[in-house]
Copies of this chain bind each other. A is one copy, B any other.
Amino acid sequence: MGVTVGVAVRAPVRVAWASEGRSRETRARAAGAGFEDLGTLAAVAAAADAVLSICPPHGALALAKALAATGFDGLYLDANAVSPATALRIAEAAAAGGARFVDGGLVGPPAVRPGTTRLYLSGDAAAQLASLFEGSALEAIDLDADAGAASALKMCYAGFTKGSAALLLSLRAAASAYGVEDGLLGEWSRSQPGLEKRSVRAAATTAPKAWRFAGEMEEIALTLEAAGLPDGFHRAAAETYARLAGFRGEPEGVAVEEVVAALVDGERVLRQGDWD
């Protein structure tokens, strides 16, 4: 996703990145996209007018702090899947270095084809940030609201797409554990057409990314909790995805039978310490 957002920045704005400590795969992706490699975060901070943060949610606050430590005082977009409360903590961290914060939420697949992907924005400088993406494959939408709104929208959206996928897989796993998976599939085929296919697709597409979905589900739980709503759906979804963390790095298309087995035996559990 990050690469496609960088590519969507309109000419003649230059896009740079910091390769220090990053993997060979990431370097190849950035080079392929034509991004200028400035080496270190400090060098990027010194050269840039705006910084775009797109990373797994559990790393978003640390990145903002690292950038603030360089004294970066330009525009700082956090477009990560974090709760409004976390977004505001990130805003504080960024402001401590002098930056102007923009709250963002990305919805959709990597922004390759126009019409598929939205970047929701809120906060005082949202319009200014949005102008960077004019005419690109990434549609930037200024919500004309306070910082936190874009993150809230992203959380509520992903709360259903990824939350219902975790729910569905957990229930198929429960049916397997009780020896009634065939019976459940039979009933689905009669009264819930499409649900079996949906469970197969949920397994195939979420398992390889589950390691980073766990943190996103915790952020969604925090979002509901802060609004006085039940947070248990997404605590359970986080646990579901944590059990699938062992599929990290596998190509898309993991078999639902494998996912069900991993959920039932619960052995592939990722703990908080492993995320960082």
The complex is assembled from copies of this chain, and their number is 2
CA distance A108 to B187 in the complex (A): 10
CA distance A92 to B138 in the complex (A): 61
Q: With A84-B178, A153-B180 in contact, is A173–B229 under 8 Å at CB?
A: yes
B178–A230 touching, CB < 8 Å: no
CB-nearest residue of chain B to A190? B118
Q: Which of A1-9, A17-25, A45-53, A233-241 contacts B (4 or more CB under 8 A)?
A: A233-241
Residue from B190, B227, B239 within 8 A of A174 (CB atoms): B227
CA distance A192 to B184 in the complex (A): 25
Chain B residues, Cβ within 8 Å of A175: 152-153, 156
- Does A37 interact with chain B (Cβ within 8 Å)? no
- Does A209 interact with chain B (Cβ within 8 Å)? no
Interface centre among A161, A172, A177, A266 (most CB of B within 10 A): A177
Chain B residues, Cβ within 8 Å of A145: 179-180
A160–B167 touching, CB < 8 Å: yes
CB-nearest residue of chain B to A184? B156
A170–B230 touching, CB < 8 Å: yes
A183–B231 touching, CB < 8 Å: no
B263–A229 touching, CB < 8 Å: yes
Chain B residues, Cβ within 8 Å of A84: 178
CA distance A232 to B235 in the complex (A): 7
- Does A275 interact with chain B (Cβ within 8 Å)? no
Add 20 more A-B contacts to A107-B191, A149-B180, A166-B233 (CB < 8 A).
Answer: A118-B187, A118-B190, A143-B180, A149-B179, A153-B175, A153-B180, A153-B184, A156-B172, A156-B180, A157-B187, A164-B164, A173-B229, A174-B224, A178-B227, A229-B264, A230-B235, A230-B237, A230-B240, A232-B239, A233-B237
16 examples of A-B residue contacts, CB within 8 angstroms = A107-B191, A118-B190, A120-B183, A149-B179, A153-B180, A156-B178, A157-B187, A159-B174, A160-B167, A163-B167, A167-B233, A170-B229, A171-B224, A174-B229, A230-B236, A230-B239
